[in-house]
């Protein structure tokens, strides 16, 4: 719901990052997330939200440089494609 809420509030993009499977102190949360992300991608597609406006990636707390790279890449990509105008009915 957080992903959908972001687009509903007018976000240009949404990025979800999670611990690598098997490497998270929340035990099974990232396994549940992996399944949900597949459903979210399908839902976004059916709503007409371009796939390049949503990104999911595994990155751990010890991968600070990787986190910074991912955020920078996503920011640059969204700047190039411009603001999200929403979905027209």
pTM for this predicted structure? 0.85
The helix or strand, by DSSP H or E, that contains position 80, with its residue range, turns out to be helix 64-81
The CA distance from 84 to 65, in Å, is 28
Taking only the tens place, the pLDDT of each residue in 30-40 is 888 888 999 99
pLDDT at 28 (0 to 100): 76
The domain ranges of the chain are 2-81
Report pLDDT for 39: 94
CA atoms within 13 A on the CB side of 25: 2
Distance in angstroms (rounded) separating the CA atoms of residues 51 and 19: 22
Neighbouring C-beta atoms of residue 48, cutoff 10 Å: 10
């Amino acid at each position: 719901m957080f992903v959908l809420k972001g687009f509903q509030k007018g976000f240009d993009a949404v990025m979800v990052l999670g611990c690598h499977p098997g490497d998270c102190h929340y035990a099974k949360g990232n396994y549940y997330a992996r399944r949900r992300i597949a459903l979210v991608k399908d839902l976004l597609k059916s709503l007409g939200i371009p796939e390049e406006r949503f990104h999911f990636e595994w990155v751990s707390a010890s991968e600070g440089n990787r986190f910074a790279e991912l955020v920078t890449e996503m920011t640059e990509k969204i700047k190039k494609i411009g603001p999200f105008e929403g979905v027209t009915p």
